[in-house]
Chain A
Amino acid sequence: GENVEQHPSTLSVQEGDSAVIKCTYSDSASNYFPWYKQELGKRPQLIIDIRSNVGEKKDQRIAVTLNKTAKHFSLHITETQPEDSAVYFCAASTNFGNEKLTFGTGTRLTIIP
């Protein structure tokens, strides 16, 4: 089955700087890679996703890159703000997400004011 590894487990970044979180996956059949943000005590919320037919996707301060050959994908957050502090989870799925998601173990991002 699919295995998703996520690094780092914790990340502290000065406000205004950039943050990068990296994930690798094992199943070459995976073709959908979402990123979820989970604030303390709240439900996970999708912030961006990418399909295997594109290499990069951007939405304002958030971008995701995908390298299918190396089986890794990354989340980039620029101009970080205090409200970006949360736990971020990457995930992978086949069938463009119409299957179970296999999640990474999460990254706790702290933005230092």
Chain B
Amino acid sequence: GAGVSQSPSNKVTEKGKDVELRCDPISGHTALYWYRQSLGQGLEFLIYFQGNSAPDKSGLPSDRFSAERTGGSVSTLTIQRTQQEDSAVYLCASSLGGGVSGEQYFGPGTRLTVT
């Protein structure tokens, strides 16, 4: 079946502009995660959605970052007033959740460049 998809694949924006990144999880997966990977670095957790529970926002680096998940499926990560340090690859992952296998499947990522 289809894997996790993300759009756009690449985004170049000017400093100070807002951007929206989209994630379509695997159908039936109730858990959805956002991570950030800076050049040559590991993956940094941002936010986690599980079903209808309140999201775990503990990894969001500032209040310029927010995310929502509509209808328990598609998620949008929004970065307001982008800064150059926001440049990174933003990865989305999904898993079955609900106490079943925690294996997380990653999307291809969105490469964000802030100029």
Interface residues in chain A, defined as those with a beta carbon under 8 Å from any beta carbon in chain B:
6, 32, 34, 36, 42-46, 49, 89, 91, 93, 95-106
Contact = CB atoms under 8 A, between A and B. Distances in A.
Given A99-B48, A100-B48, A46 B102 contact: no
Contacts of A101: 33, 35, 43, 45, 104
Nearest to A100: B45
Given A89-B42, A100-B45, 15 more contacts: A34-B103, A36-B106, A43-B91, A44-B106, A46-B104, A89-B43, A96-B99, A96-B102, A97-B101, A97-B104, A98-B102, A100-B48, A100-B56, A101-B35, A103-B43
B31 interface: yes
Interface residues of B, number: 28
A98 B99 contact: yes
Contact of B50 (A43, A93, A98, A104): A98
Nearest to A51: B102
